[in-house]
Amino acid sequence: MTLLEGRVAVVTGGSSGIGRGISLAFAEQGADVVVCDVREDPKEGGLPTHEKIESDTDASATYVELDVTDPSAFENAMDAAEAFGGVDIMVNNAGVWWPEDFLTVTEDEFQRMMDINVKGVYFGAQAAAGRMSQGGGGSIINISSVNGIYGNGGYPTYTATKGAVRTLTYSLAHGLGERDIRVNAIHPGAINTKIGPEDMETSEEQMAQLEAMIPLGRRGEPDDVAGVAVFLASDLAKYVTGESIVVDGGWTSWR
C-alpha cells in the first residue's frame, strides 16, 4: 500500500537534509515530487534528490532551481507540478539558521533570515493554495522548529521566524479550510542535518551533552521528520489541520 499514490508534492529546500528526507519518503509512498532548492547537489553528498527518486522508486521527479525569497519564482515550481498533474502537497521546508548575539545582529542579517524563513513560507503557501483551490484542495506542511514554541537566547532571530511560521500555520488553516486545504506545522528538534554555517563544528563532547538532554538518547534523522510529513500529507490525516506536531525525541516535554 502506498499512502500518496497519485499525488504530486512540491518540496522547498528539497536537495538536502529534512527536505531531501521528505522528498524521498513521499516518492516511496507513491508521490511524484518537484524538488526545489537554490542548489541541486545535496550537502550530504550523493545523487541529487530528484535523480535518486527516479533511480530508487517508481515515482517521477524533477528539480527546479528556486530562491524562496523571490515570490514570483514559486510559479515555476507550480508549473513543474502541473506537468505531473498539479500540486496536491506543498512542503515549505527551506530555511537557514545560525547562532548570533542579539546585541550585534545587523538589519541585513535579520532581514535575510526573515526573508527565507518567513517570507518564503508565506508566499510558498500562497502559490500552492492558489493552485490547490482550482484542483480540489490539498495539504500544506510548514517546517517550523521547537524554537517556534519556546525561546532561545542563542538565536533570537531564528526563534522569531519559527514562531511566525507556527502562528501563520494556524491562520492559514483557519482561512483555507473552506477550500479543503489543510495546513499543519512540524516542529523538529535536534536533527542530524547541515542547516548551520558550513564552517561551524560541534565537538563530540558538545554532541554528547546535547543527546543526554533528549529522552530518546539521540539526535533525530531526516526520516524521523519525513514519517510525520507523510502522515500529514496523506488521507490518514484528512481531518487534521491547524496542528503543530513536535518531532524532537521528547526534548520539549520536560523543558
| Amino acid, single-letter form, for residue 116 | I
Instruction: Give Cα 219 to chain centroid, integer Å.
Output: 18
- List the one residue out of 42, 4, 43, 55 whose CA is nearest residue 25: 4
At residue 141, the 3 state secondary structure works out as: strand
Angle at 212 between CA 141 and CA 227, to 5 degrees: 25
Question: How many CB atoms are closer than 10 A to CB 224?
Answer: 20
Q: Of the listed 63, 122, 158, 170, which one is catalytic?
A: 158
Q: What is the DSSP string of 117-143?
A: IIIHHHHHHHHHHHHHHHHT-EEEEEE
- Positive or negative, the Cα torsion across 223, 224, 229, 234? positive
Find the largest Cα–Cα distance for the chain.
Answer: 53
Residues facing residue 12 across a β-bridge:
36
Catalytic annotation on 63? no
C-alpha–C-alpha distance, residues 83 and 62, integer Å: 10
- Distance between CA atoms of residues 83 and 63, nearest Å: 13
**Cα 74 to Cα 133: distance, rounded to the nearest angstrom:** 16
Q: Give the total residue count for the chain.
A: 255
Residues forming the active site: 158
